Amino acid sequence: MGKRTKAAILAAILAALMGLLTWHTIWWHANGTHEELYNAIGDSAWSTAKAVLYNLGLMAAAGLLLGLFSEQITNMLGYEVKKIDHFADEEEPEPATTPDLTTRREAALAAEAAERLREPAQ
């Protein structure tokens, strides 16, 4: 079995799992289980933890399934993602310092004075 065929089969399985997760969410909303879960928040520590953990698990499952599905679609299309090492060849830059303008000015004046001394008097 080729890579693309395997990726297509896995994408179909993941799509079915996403469909089941969606069906579960809609079913709980339709039969009132979500409302019971949300109305119980604050009644006790367990009911609050149950609601929070349910929502956290629901979002984690949806994110995981969607990420894996996207990866399989990418594999099915034959696109290969290569890791880019952004900082492989960079050396640490030296800290930038502001130029000392007085030193440059003094050096320029000293060079000008030395030039005048070298010139013959006119």
At 122, the pLDDT band (50, 70, 90 cuts) reads low
Q: Which residue has the higher pLDDT, 58 or 109?
A: 58
The whole-model pTM stands at 0.60
Query: C-alpha distances in angstroms, 68 versus 13, 23, 35, 74, 84?
Result: 11, 19, 30, 10, 21
Residues 84-110, mean pLDDT to the nearest whole number: 68
The residue type of 21 is L
Task: Look up tokens 């303008």; give the residue.
Answer: 101
Contact (CB, 8 A) for 55 and 41: no
pLDDT at 121: 60
pLDDT digits (tens, 9 = 90+) for 2-13: 888 999 999 999
Q: Which residue has the higher pLDDT, 93 or 74?
A: 74
Residues 85-113, mean pLDDT to the nearest whole number: 69
pLDDT digits (tens, 9 = 90+) for 32-87: 998 988 888 889 999 999 999 999 999 999 999 999 999 999 988 887 777 777 77
The residue type of 82 is K
